[in-house]
């Protein structure tokens, strides 16, 4: 009898563990499919709305926080093998004429920077045809199957990282910012002062040349119409100063 009770208790414990594990998996799946930022307007993840011309590509847009789902959506890209998807990482992809745009957003600059290093290393070692990549803020953005690299880069330029960081207390970098501001302002003032002095000197020289030229022209015109005066009593004199009329 005791053995039967022991088996029943053991079976109950096993059943509870299975139920707890199932609940944990379901909770994890719910968490991984939920965005950390939801729009107050339409309830959509904010990252979706950062796609260029989102309304035009809404039908093909896919949002996920799961790497396996992302790989399935973009058809098993080897470039994604180097990426880590820690909790909070989000991704969105959509089809454009320039190619398939993929944006992976990390929760902090450090994770995005580490991913960028891995991506750059992978591209250097294994160049991928039709792949164009760019880091934009915490976004690691790709254009896959791009027929034209220039057009793909133009598409990436339309992706804007629209988040800002604000300090709740005093900014710890305020002194560095003030120092940078003072250096930049002083440099600009010095450059402006030198330019003003140089331009002033140049204007003065040009004005002097113009005034001198006008003055001598006016004097020459007056001299040409002036009647020559002589006190030589009709005698012939040498015209050394150019004031006597020609005979």
Longest dimension (CA), the chain: 166
Buried b (16+ CB within 10 A) or exposed e, 85-96: beeebbbbbbeb
Say whether pTM exceeds 0.85.
Answer: no
Tell me: do 138 and 58 sit in the same domain.
yes
Same domain, 51 and 129: yes
Residues 35 and 110 in one domain: yes
* Residue 179 lies in domain: 170-223
Distance between CA atoms of residues 133 and 148, nearest Å? 13
Cβ 143 vs Cβ 101: under 8 Å = yes
Q: Which of 157, 179, 203 is the last residue of a domain?
A: 157
Answer yes or no: do 130 and 50 share one domain: yes
139 and 117 share one domain: yes
Query: How far apart are alpha carbons 70 and 84 in whole angstroms?
Result: 12
Judge whether 244 lies within some domain: no
Local structure of 155: helix, strand or coil: helix
| 59 and 148 housed in the same domain | yes
Number of domains the chain is built from: 2
* Pair 117, 178 in one domain: no
**Euclidean distance between CA atoms 104 and 93, whole angstroms:** 9
Does one domain contain both 106 and 133?
A: yes
Distance CA(65)–CA(83), nearest Å, equals 13
Q: What is the tens place of the pLDDT at every residue in 40-89?
A: 666 788 888 889 999 999 999 999 999 999 999 998 888 989 988 888 89
The verdict on 51 and 131 lying in the same domain is yes
200 vs 229, residue with greater confidence: 200
pLDDT at position 27 is 37
User: Do 145 and 178 belong together in one domain?
Assistant: no
Report the run of H or E that residue 132 belongs to, with start and end.
strand 132-136
Q: Do 189 and 93 belong to one domain?
A: no
111-116: average pLDDT: 92
Last residue of a domain, one of 128, 157, 186: 157
pLDDT of 169 > 70? The answer is: no
β-bridge partners, 139: 105, 136
12 lies in some domain: no
Which of 135, 157, 179 is the last residue before a domain boundary?
157
């Amino acid at each position: 009898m005791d053995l039967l009770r022991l088996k029943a208790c053991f079976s109950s414990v096993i059943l509870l563990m299975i139920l707890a594990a199932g609940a944990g998996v379901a909770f994890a799946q719910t968490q991984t499919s939920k965005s950390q930022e939801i729009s107050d307007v339409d309830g959509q993840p904010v990252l979706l709305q950062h796609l260029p011309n989102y309304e035009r590509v809404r039908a093909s847009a896919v949002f996920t926080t799961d790497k396996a789902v992302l790989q399935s959506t973009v058809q098993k890209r080897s470039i994604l093998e180097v990426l880590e998807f820690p909790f909070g990482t989000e991704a969105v992809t959509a089809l454009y004429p320039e190619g398939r745009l993929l944006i992976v957003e990390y929760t902090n600059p450090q994770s995005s920077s580490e991913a960028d290093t891995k991506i750059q290393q992978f591209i250097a070692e294994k160049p991928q045809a039709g792949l164009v990549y760019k880091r934009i803020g915490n976004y690691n953005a790709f254009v896959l199957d791009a027929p034209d690299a220039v057009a793909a880069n133009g598409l990436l330029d339309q992706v804007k990282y629209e988040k800002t960081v604000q300090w709740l207390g005093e900014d710890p970098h305020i002194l560095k910012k003030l120092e940078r501001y003072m250096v930049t302002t002083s440099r600009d003032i010095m450059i402006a002062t030198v330019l003003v002095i140089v331009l002033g000197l140049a204007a003065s020289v040009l004005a002097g040349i113009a005034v001198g030229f006008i003055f001598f022209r006016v004097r020459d015109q007056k001299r040409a119409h002036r009647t020559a005066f002589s006190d030589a009593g009709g005698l012939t004199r040498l015209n050394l100063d150019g004031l006597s009329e020609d005979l």
